[in-house]
Amino acid sequence: MNAAVYYETGGPEVFRYEAVPDPTVENGDVLLKVEAVSIEGGDTLNRLGGPMTTVPHIVGYQCAGTVMSIGPAVTGVAVGDRVVTVGLDGSHAELRSVAESFCWVIPPGLATEDAACVPVPFGTADDCLFEFGHLQEGETALIHAGASGVGIAAIQLAKRAGARVLATASSDERLDRLKPLGLDYGIDYTAVDFVEAVRRATDGRGADVIVDSVGGSNLQKSLHCLAYRGRCVSFGDAGREDPGQLDIATMRGNNQTLVGYFLGAELFLGGRAHSMIARHLDDLAAGRLQVVVDRRFSLEEAGEAHAYIESRQAFGRVLLIP
């Protein structure tokens, strides 16, 4: 098969498009022909400096396609099924082999490209808001990086739950595009201090739940605009800033909570998260939720696609098409 690989971590220019051995299929594995790769923020971070399990290395969490073969222990997936998959690596390729427990059969009516964008963003958004953020109807949620995949998912899910939805983005134009998805109050973080904007939008109270993918100093500022008994869930370091040490002194007197989150751990530990993601696939197939695809690149253009994401121009998902 052909794949986008690299021999050392670094910038987008480290990618090479080469022929590599086909992946093997173990007892409980599913082999799919990849038809769409959704590039996740973690993919760019791993390429920049993450672990390399092989040399050359194939990066990538998430992709979708058609099942070509299955291991003898596989019971819930059949050859010919369309599936979306997640894993620690291996998505940036023409073929992928993953355990059945990290596959979801794509429901009828949902395009393969749209399904490729679902598990990581929608699973992360749902867990940050509800399983760990405990968001309730009538509360206020602040979603950082609202135009990202997780941001777009979280805005929709929070609005559907009856929350008031605030989000940050880098321009008013991007914020305007989020309003049809459920955004109530947008904050251009390049023009105003988002802590002051949140306090102003909530009459000084602050946000009940904050979903923070940025990390670094952004996370510290998030803690400063939490409401009494507010919950901040941190799941990423998209800002690529040294986090330093967090000052949590203001949290104690306000009975606030800071939670670290990683979807992969939830998927490894049981079926709850798997079932939750399956429900989102069904909701997307029924038109109750939306996926936003910004641009498509060929697999050979993996470097260009990663560079585009890192330029912070994307609104929604960026796909690789083998």
Could you tell me the CATH number of the domain that includes residue 70? 3.90.180.10
Say which residues have a Cβ less than 8 Å from residue 147's Cβ, sequence separation at least 6: 169, 170, 174, 177, 178, 314, 315, 316
Domain assignment present for residue 285? The answer is no
Question: What CA–CA distances, in Å, run from 170 to 39, 147, 219, 315?
Answer: 20, 9, 17, 11
Same domain for 226 and 140: yes
Domain assignment present for residue 272? The answer is no
Same domain for 213 and 129: yes
What's the predicted TM-score (pTM) here?
0.95
Number of domains in the chain: 2
Same domain for 235 and 207: yes
Same domain for 125 and 67: no
Last residue of a domain, one of 245, 264, 283: 264
Would you state the pLDDT for residue 241?
Answer: 81
Same domain for 129 and 81: no
Phi, psi of 105 (to 5 degrees): -70, 130
Would you state the pLDDT for residue 70?
Answer: 98
Structure token pair of residue 233 = 């869930």
Last residue of a domain, one of 264, 281, 300: 264
Same domain for 124 and 238: yes
Per-residue pLDDT of the chain (322 residues; tens, 9 = 90+): 999 999 999 999 999 999 999 999 999 999 999 999 999 999 999 999 999 999 999 999 999 999 999 999 999 999 999 999 999 999 999 999 999 999 999 999 999 999 999 999 999 999 999 999 999 999 999 999 999 999 999 999 999 999 999 999 999 999 999 999 999 999 999 999 999 999 999 999 999 999 999 999 999 999 999 999 999 999 988 877 876 789 999 999 999 999 999 999 999 987 899 999 999 999 999 999 999 999 999 999 999 999 999 998 999 999 999 9
Same domain for 102 and 139: no
- Residue range of the domain that includes 91: 2-117+291-321
Same domain for 233 and 132: yes
Same domain for 143 and 223: yes
**Residue 305: CB atoms within 10 Å:** 27
Could you tell me the CATH number of the domain that includes residue 258? 3.40.50.720
